[in-house]
């Protein structure tokens, strides 16, 4: 049984549906409310076979430091696409149903108990409370993960509060995403401007110490010249950063945001979550076949996802530690140092799912960057060589 009908829960379900698989989703409709900027690498769309959810293609980045002198990086390749996240979630759900999973929408997971080697799972649906039986309980229930809480796994090391608004504005250059950094603009994280075809999505994330994100968004909209634009819709949400030590227990797996499998530098969680779902489903299918749902057996999932996307998450956490503490002046310095053709050429090779891979080539190109954190850079290079 999978708790959470988000993209990760539904993708997990599609891959385990040879066994009886039920997805329990508290909302009446999968994919709503949306809590996502929808910016992903095209590989994510391929993984979900969701090409028809793409609303725009991105080939470049404008990185705007606090001092305002933007660094522009352009590429001839598609670097990212913007997806209609509601439609994307629907696609993931349809696939799960096609493979044979049952979706229980409008049912809230309340808790679970143990009965021998099985679990009794309590949910509340429109008709009242229900108790269901399960061999395996998968927590794909997002950053608040009740499954994780009850199982004693989690929480994430940190959480970023995000807020964004869709404005009735068309960007002049729809191929460029803007990223604005600065401790006053978006303390501990960054702000984004994403062209989405007919409209533009503007948002930001703020670390816990940064205060309420709504005030920062109002100030940013004004600063960026969008203060008077018509608002189409507003979204807020939380991005968990830094996975817990363990993402499994007896009869339990955590996957996606519930396991904080997000990229610490961007907050993106779709690629990492879908990859982890694949490892989780493979482990689950083998364990169900062998009727061994012990923590020891399920620990294989933890090893597999950490050996895959976990490496990038670890490196991202290290870089984030330095980034989150940079002063505005230092951010300006870094951007100034990168604003040269050879460094921009390196930046143009970047992949949004593997941002830390830029560290080594950038240092080779601009060796003076080492002064910002010699210790971090040594660690990153050693880890890359592993
Ligand atoms: C502002 C913002 C912008 C973002 N932008 C991007 C981006 O551009 N690109 C990107 O890759 N990622 C982005 N993310 C992250 C991305 O949205 C998540 O990583 C992704 O949604 C994780 O998928 P999931 O299936 O693990 O969790 P979710 O999508 O959160 O799904 C969890 C599901 O579980 C359900 N649930 C929770 N509790 C219960 C319960 N007790 N009972 C039943 N159901 C329950 C919820 O209703 C929900 O449907 C962003 C996040 C935020 C907040």
- What CATH code is carried by the domain that includes residue 90? 3.50.50.60
Confidence bin at 386 (pLDDT 50/70/90): low
- Contact call for residues 355 and 89 (beta carbons, < 8 A): no
Give Cβ neighbours of residue 50 (< 8 Å, ≥ 6 apart): 83, 87, 88, 91, 92
Same domain flag for 186 and 233 = yes
pLDDT tens-digit readout, 221-271: 999 999 999 999 999 999 999 999 999 999 999 999 999 999 999 999 999
The mean pLDDT of 71-85, rounded to a whole number, is 97
**Does 196 have pLDDT greater than 90?**
yes
Q: What's the rounded Cα separation, in Å, for the pair 240 and 264?
A: 9
Ligand 1 centre distance from Cα of residue 6 (Å): 6
Ligand 1 centre distance from Cα of residue 41 (Å): 17
Same domain flag for 230 and 136 = no
The closest residue, in CA terms, to atom 3 on ligand 1 is 36
Domain boundary among 225, 241, 257: 241
Give the model's pLDDT for residue 379: 72
Same domain flag for 95 and 13 = yes
Give the model's pLDDT for residue 384: 65
Read off the tokens for 74.
Answer: 């352009």
Same domain flag for 256 and 271 = yes
What average pLDDT does the chain have? 95
**Does 21 have pLDDT greater than 90?**
yes
**Does 220 have pLDDT greater than 80?**
yes
pLDDT tens-digit readout, 101-126: 999 999 999 999 999 999 999 999 99
Give the model's pLDDT for residue 325: 87
The reply to whether 282 falls in a domain is: yes
The closest residue, in CA terms, to atom 52 on ligand 1 is 36
Same domain flag for 228 and 355 = no
Ligand 1 centre distance from Cα of residue 270 (Å): 9
Ligand 1 centre distance from Cα of residue 118 (Å): 28
**Does 383 have pLDDT greater than 70?**
no
Percent of the chain whose predicted confidence (pLDDT) is above 90? 91
E strand intervals along the chain: 2-3, 22-25, 39-40, 54-58, 60-64, 71-74, 80-83, 102-105, 108-115, 118-125, 128-134, 137-139, 158-167, 176-180, 191-195, 200-206, 231-241, 248-249, 252-254
Ligand 1 contact, 252 CB (< 6 A): no
**Does 187 have pLDDT greater than 80?**
yes
Ligand 1 contact, 37 CB (< 6 A): yes
Ligand 1 centre distance from Cα of residue 361 (Å): 33
Distances (CA, A) of 14 to 73, 95, 216, 254, 282: 38, 6, 40, 16, 11
The reply to whether 15 falls in a domain is: yes
Domain boundary among 292, 312, 332: 312
Read off the tokens for 375.
Answer: 């210790």
Pocket test for ligand 1, best of 125, 192, 270, 355 (most atoms within 8 A of CB): 270
The reply to whether 268 falls in a domain is: yes
Same domain flag for 163 and 150 = no
The mean pLDDT of 365-373, rounded to a whole number, is 88
Distances (CA, A) of 294 to 5, 249, 300, 351: 25, 7, 11, 37
Domain boundary among 196, 222, 241: 241
**Does 358 have pLDDT greater than 80?**
yes
Same domain flag for 178 and 307 = no
Atom in ligand 1 nearest the alpha carbon of residue 262: 19
Same domain flag for 308 and 329 = no
Burial of 222 (0-12, 13-18, 19+ CB in 10 A): exposed
Give Cβ neighbours of residue 130 (< 8 Å, ≥ 6 apart): 107, 122, 123, 124
Q: What's the rounded Cα separation, in Å, for the pair 16 and 31?
A: 21
The closest residue, in CA terms, to atom 37 on ligand 1 is 141
Atom in ligand 1 nearest the alpha carbon of residue 7: 25
pLDDT tens-digit readout, 136-180: 999 999 999 999 999 999 899 999 999 999 999 999 999 999 999
Same domain flag for 171 and 231 = yes
Which 3 state secondary structure label does DSSP give 181? coil
Domain that holds residue 163: 51-83+158-241
The mean pLDDT of 336-356, rounded to a whole number, is 96
Looking at the 3D structure of the chain, how many domains does it have? 3
């Amino acid at each position: 049984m999978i708790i959470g009908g988000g993209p990760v829960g539904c993708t997990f379900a599609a891959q385990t549906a040879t066994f009886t698989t039920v997805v329990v989703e508290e909302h009446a409709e999968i994919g709503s409310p949306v809590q996502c900027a929808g910016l992903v690498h095209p590989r994510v769309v391929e993984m979900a076979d969701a090409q028809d959810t793409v609303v725009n293609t991105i080939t470049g980045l404008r990185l705007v430091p606090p001092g305002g002198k933007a660094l522009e990086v352009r590429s001839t390749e598609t670097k990212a696409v913007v997806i209609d996240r509601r439609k994307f979630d629907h696609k993931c759900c349809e696939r799960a149903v096609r493979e044979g999973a049952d979706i229980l929408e409008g049912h809230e997971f309340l808790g679970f108990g143990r009965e021998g080697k099985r679990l009794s799972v309590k949910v509340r649906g429109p008709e009242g409370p229900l108790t269901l039986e399960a061999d395996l309980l998968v927590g794909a229930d997002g950053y608040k993960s009740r499954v994780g809480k009850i199982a004693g796994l989690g929480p994430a090391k940190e959480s970023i509060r995000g807020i964004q608004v869709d404005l009735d504005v068309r960007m002049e250059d729809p191929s460029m995403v803007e990223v604005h950094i600065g401790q006053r603009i978006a303390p501990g994280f960054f702000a984004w401007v994403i062209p989405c075809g007919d409209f533009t999505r503007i948002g930001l994330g703020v670390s816990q110490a940064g205060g309420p994100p709504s005030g920062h968004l109002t100030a940013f909209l004004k600063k960026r010249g969008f203060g008077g634009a018509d608002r189409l819709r507003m979204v807020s949400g939380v991005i968990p950063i830094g996975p817990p030590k363990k993402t499994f227990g007896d009869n339990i797996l955590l996957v996606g945001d519930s396991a904080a499998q997000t990229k610490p530098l961007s907050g993106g969680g779709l690629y990492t979550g879908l990859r982890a779902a694949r490892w989780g489903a493979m482990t689950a299918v083998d364990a169900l076949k062998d009727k061994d749902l012990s923590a020891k057996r399920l620990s294989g999932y933890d090893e597999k996802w950490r050996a895959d996307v976990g490496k990038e998450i670890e490196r991202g956490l290290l870089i984030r530690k330095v980034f989150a503490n940079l002063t505005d002046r230092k951010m300006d310095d870094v951007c100034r140092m990168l604003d040269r053709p050879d460094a921009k050429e390196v930046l143009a090779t970047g992949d949004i799912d593997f941002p830390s891979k830029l560290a080594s080539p950038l240092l080779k190109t601009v060796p003076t960057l080492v002064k910002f954190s010699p210790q971090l850079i040594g660690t990153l290079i050693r880890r890359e060589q592993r």
